[in-house]
Amino acid sequence: MQKSVEIYQRLLTLKAHLDRVNRAWTPHDYEQLMTYFVEILPTLMRAERCSIFVVGPDSGEIWLKFGTGLEEKQLEAPREGSVVGESISTGSVVIRNDLDREEGFHLVADRKTAFITRNIVCVPIRSLFESRYIGAVEVLNTLDRPGFETSDGVYLQRVVRYLALALENNLVSEGIIQVSKMMYDDLSSSEKEIFGEHRFVAVSPAMRRVVEMAQRVGVLPINVFITGESGTGKEVIARMIHRVEDRRTRPFVAVNCSSIPDHLMESEFFGYEKGAFTGATGSRMGRFEEATGGTLFLDEIADMPASIQPKFLRAIQENEGTRLGSNKVYSYRFRIVSASSRDLATEVREGRFREDLFFRLFSVDILIPPLRERREDIVPLALMFLNEINKRFKKRVAGFSPRALALFEAYSWPGNVRELQHEVERLVALTADGENISEESCSRKLARIRNQEEEALPDGPLSIPAQRERLEIRLIRAAMEKTGGNKIRAAKLLEITRQSLHTKLKQYGERLAVADP
């Protein structure tokens, strides 16, 4: 059980890191870089064209993916009968001149691009991590020489080393994403066994500590108190505690103390017999009986009315009680996990909660931090909710735009995880299948963050030196006005030397007298 939870949490951490990598390095960036090499190499080598080939990691096929004048995205090159095939197979630089008089793959490519290949210098791209070649670069047709020379191959080799790094990074990223998806799919079948119907994200160190503590206390027959703001996931942690060891097949009875009217509290917990009161048309076992052998989860326990607290205390002390309208004694045996969004110790001090019940309710307390204090969990939670909501809505929303996730991470989420889930639900409903969730679709509360960021941009040029000067001028002017022009005191306020202040006064000169620098 514990090992499965650790694997699942590591997977979520990996998915969060992958998301950040993808935001920093997208397929579009990769294509732009490859296009840049295609454009710049002919200029550097005084040639007409450039082509970049990539070897399929599984099939070993050679594909022309990027090239000058190449309209088709991919064109397969044979290992035999092509310059690139020879270069990759032998791992050597290949130079061919006067190719317009020879047969070969270059003629096939020429027909597709309406080009005539005369000269080629081809350099294989060697993997930085494995003993294999992952692609090749060809430069075609010298402009002012009869053909390519050995020095051209040496020069192209130096350039290709940098290209190898970019190409390897893309291949590794694709591989990690595939492995991550396989792990995600394999673990999805066992998620219910790990978390029941409720999954939990613990990427941040704070939440990892919460999960570790839940696992430790789960194996012990002790009562637990969970505290945290509304929407942080207290019931999910309670279920996690319940499912550790042998209680997972036994009842988990959840009671929200804030939702039960005072006059129904006793019948809710102890049950009643037929005719016990007006409207009691049948017998009903109470929550204490229902939870026997398992876990009784008391949510918002601070809202339990004072009138029921003495009876509640006696029941959990004696492990027994009677239904309303009956003298029969029922035995109780369960673990209590209680939770509150309010400070229960404060409730005790102010006389709203019994001290003896307070100490009886738990041996260990677990604090769940608010989402704003564990921002590392925001993106993994959003990805998890996207997956779940797509299935529930029967939609195929592709993902989140980088800017939308940036807004998620910048927002404070006063409603915590519950608010984040509702936001993702709204966004999935508004986004078409196959598209990414955009920042424009985010609710007004998130849009305000974007507006604040735009408003925070300074007036004038965005140059850092220029803006630094503007700030220094304002600070110096304010210090001089506050000290009545006393340079010694002004320098102290600014925390610089008098000589530095003198230098800046001389540097800025008349600009210090302008109202708005």
Rounded to an integer, the average pLDDT of 25-46 is 79
Q: Which of the four pLDDT bands, split at 50, 70 and 90, describes residue 508?
A: confident
Phi-psi map region of 9: left, alpha, beta (phi>0 left; psi -120 to 50 alpha)? alpha
Q: What is the pLDDT of residue 119?
A: 93
Q: Evaluate whether 142 touches 148 at the Cβ level (below 8 Å).
A: yes
Same domain, 490 and 403: no
Q: Is the pLDDT of residue 296 over 90?
A: yes
Choose from 55-59, 99-103, 371-375 the range with maximum mean pLDDT.
371-375
Whether 434 and 335 map to the same domain: the answer is no
Higher pLDDT, 247 or 411: 411
Range in 38-47, 163-172, 291-300 with the lowest mean pLDDT: 163-172
pLDDT of residue 196: 45
d(CA 470, CA 233): 47
pLDDT tens digit sequence for 156-213: 998 888 777 767 666 655 555 555 555 555 545 444 444 444 466 788 889 989 988 9
Residue 109 lies in a domain: yes
Mean pLDDT of 258-267: 90
The answer to pTM > 0.85 is no
> What is the total count of domains within the chain?
4
Average the pLDDT over 338-356 and give the result: 92
Residues 28 and 169 in one domain: yes
Q: Give me the chain's average pLDDT, please.
A: 82
Residue 393: domain span: 372-455
State whether 220 and 363 are in the same domain.
yes
Mean pLDDT of 235-264: 86
For residues 337 and 449, membership in a common domain is answered with: no
336 and 284: one domain? yes
Whichever domain contains 316, its CATH number is 3.40.50.300
- Both 385 and 445 in one domain: the answer is yes
Alpha carbon distances (Å) from 210 to 184, 213, 234, 238: 23, 5, 11, 11
In the predicted structure, residue 129 carries a pLDDT above the cut 60: yes
Instruction: Return the percentage of the chain with pLDDT > 70, whole number.
Output: 81
262 vs 72, 259, 311, 400, CA distance in Å?
73, 9, 13, 46
Strands 436-437 and 399-400: parallel
425 and 342 in a common domain:
no
Does pLDDT of 121 surpass 90? yes
Query: Between residues 194 and 143, which one has the greater pLDDT?
Result: 143
